[in-house]
Amino acid sequence: MSLIRALDLTLEFGAKKIIDSANCSLEKNSRVGLIGSNGSGKTTLIRLFLGELRPSWGEVLRAKNCRIAWLPQNLNLDPSLSLIEYVRASREDLAGLSAQIQRLAPLSEKSDKARLELNRVVESYTALGGYEFDNELKYVLTSLSLPTEIWNRPLGSFSGGEQTRICLAAILLTPHDLLILDEPTNHLDLEMIGWLEKYLLKQDKPFLVVSHDRRFLDNTVSSIWNLREGQISVTKGNYSSFKAADEIARLSQQRLWERQQKQLAETNAYIQKFIAGTRTGSAKSRQKMLDRIQIVKQPSQAKQIKLQIQDAKRSGNDVYTLKDLSFGIPPSLELAQNVNLKANYQDRICILGPNGCGKTTLLKVLLGEHEIESGGLKIGASLQIGYYDQHQVNLDPSLSVMETIWRLIPRAPQGEVLSWLARFGFRGDDTEKNVSVLSGGERSRLFLCQMLHSNPNLMILDEPTNHLDIDMADALLEALKAFQGTVIFVSHDRWFINELTHKFWVFEKSPNGEHTTITSFEGSLEQAAELTFARPVQEKAAPAPRPQRKKRVNPLHLEQLHQNIEKDYEKLSGLNGELKEIHTRLSSSETYSQPGLLEELHQRMASLESQIAQTEANIAELEDRYLSISYEE
């Protein structure tokens, strides 16, 4: 039996269908990536699976006693609990025994009764795998950069990113039959993301993950669920496989839709021409045929979000010069010393380093918002800075979405403001929303909207793709590529980094190992990561569902595939030619004077359309195989 199965699952809010007749299932071997634009209903679907929401109709079937461990985006933690108390609670059967061991251990030295009780508790703890759990707990926490010296700190003392990592650790350690993760990579550095990928695959348990990180999806999942306009489409393979298959399917359906629209137009024209004339019977027959025909749905066009950074006055060639610069966090935390770096006009610089090393602090130094301890920072002439803060602290929670942007351009007509907001996905009632009630994704989009309209010639970005869906991240990337100024950014999104970066500023140990410095490096992300992380970050996507040995491509196989594709195209041409001939005969008056011929032609037309659809599907499959094998070379 499936762990979770959705049958005609539908959820309506007012007149809007958030989930529309969804049919999908999670099996014992499922590794699913759930994707969709912000607001498409991904978290809503998960809440339906968990039973937190009731469907409007349809149902969710869950396997009996199925244990689900789930990491939401929005956390609700008891700030008074210590880190170790919270994580140990993931094993309720062990938490009480562990507390008893801690209590009895000092007493056992003075009391035989306490010693006997301690032995009994230790035996129970051992039988339940307590010490194996302790080892796994330490391994998971340290892998997520949560070392033993901070385990007794209260949860309220940790940052939001640290709290997310603590929750992720607790969820991974919770006994489960199904794991559900909502944007788990948002607060992980590159090394942690690589570790999480390997951990999920090593556990060999089913999971559903919501993510906008295409590299993470490429490396972990074996199927993609795409939630679009309430509908869920399922594609086997990783994200790259989905993208290729989705485009082929969309083009194929577009061709079918266009062909049917042409047929419908021709048939309607015939009906209008002859319905009141001598061929009224034939026209009515065609009308009945139209009434029964199954309409091909036009494929929805892929979102083409186009962002543009407003032109600004050009800055000087020297944007930043750092000379023997040192900075840290008072009173005693040194982050980097003797830093010598230079940023030039139109550079695309990614700052790379583990969580907590000082990447955001370096951005604050460049912005003049954090004092340096020694050395010099020379700031170039005519800089107009656009700063993206991952926490969006500069958004006024008392303003509406529209008021936030109107403040930037108070003389602009309302239509211009609405048009600009629409580019970032704010339409209709969304423009009147108060900033204080926006989701993380909505806040990110509004902050980008505000920043890109400020006419910068230098963009400083701190985790710009956090909370953005894939379409919006694509649009931001294209805008930054076309941007005529300079970009300095921090990100953990490997695809985004590779597409944009010309140069890395890498946090690493100095040659003598006594302190941390920052060096400039031009090369690949994988090479740069080796300088700053203990282990190299996996850059290339692993095949889904499991890594396989790369096979040598047989050129004869490729040639055979190519010949088969050409044969199918020839067959398709012949079928389309015959179909065109039937359309010609159906438009002839002589056809309707021959008994039985009309029905025969309609039957043949239906057969041809079926063969055409099958042949196009064969072509799509062969082309997909050809491209897939070609990429292995």
Alpha-carbon distances, residue 282 vs 269, 271, 286, 579, 605 (angstroms): 13, 8, 6, 20, 17
Q: What does the block give as tokens for 563?
A: 């010949």
Q: What is the pLDDT of residues 235-273, one digit of tens each?
A: 999 999 998 888 887 787 788 888 888 888 888 888 888
Lowest mean pLDDT among 317-321, 437-441, 462-466: 437-441
User: First CA to last CA across the chain, in angstroms?
Assistant: 40
Helix (H) or strand (E) holding 365: helix 359-367
Once rounded to an integer, what is the mean pLDDT over residues 199-207?
A: 93
Does domain 318-384+455-532 fall under CATH 3.40.50.300? My reply is yes
CATH of domain 32-41+63-241: 3.40.50.300
The domains of the chain are located at 32-41+63-241, 248-301+551-631, 318-384+455-532
Q: 32-41+63-241 with 318-384+455-532: one CATH topology?
A: yes
Share above pLDDT 70 across residues of the chain, in percent, rounded to a whole number: 89
User: Rounded mean pLDDT of the chain?
Assistant: 85
Helix (H) or strand (E) holding 32: strand 31-35
pLDDT band at residue 629 under the 50/70/90 scheme: low
Alpha carbon distance 69, 173 (integer Å): 9
Alpha carbon distance 46, 427 (integer Å): 25
Q: What is the pLDDT of residues 314-343, one digit of tens each?
A: 999 999 999 999 999 887 788 999 999 999
Q: What is the pLDDT of residues 210-244, one digit of tens each?
A: 999 999 999 999 999 999 889 999 999 999 999 88
Task: Count Cβ neighbours within 10 Å for each residue of 442-459 and write b for 16 or more, e otherwise.
Answer: bbbbbbbbbbbbeebbbb
- Please give the angle made by the CA atoms of 549, 550 and 551, to the nearest 5 degrees: 110
Answer yes or no: are the C-beta atoms of 115 and 42 closer than 8 Å. no
Q: What does the block give as tokens for 144?
A: 């997520």
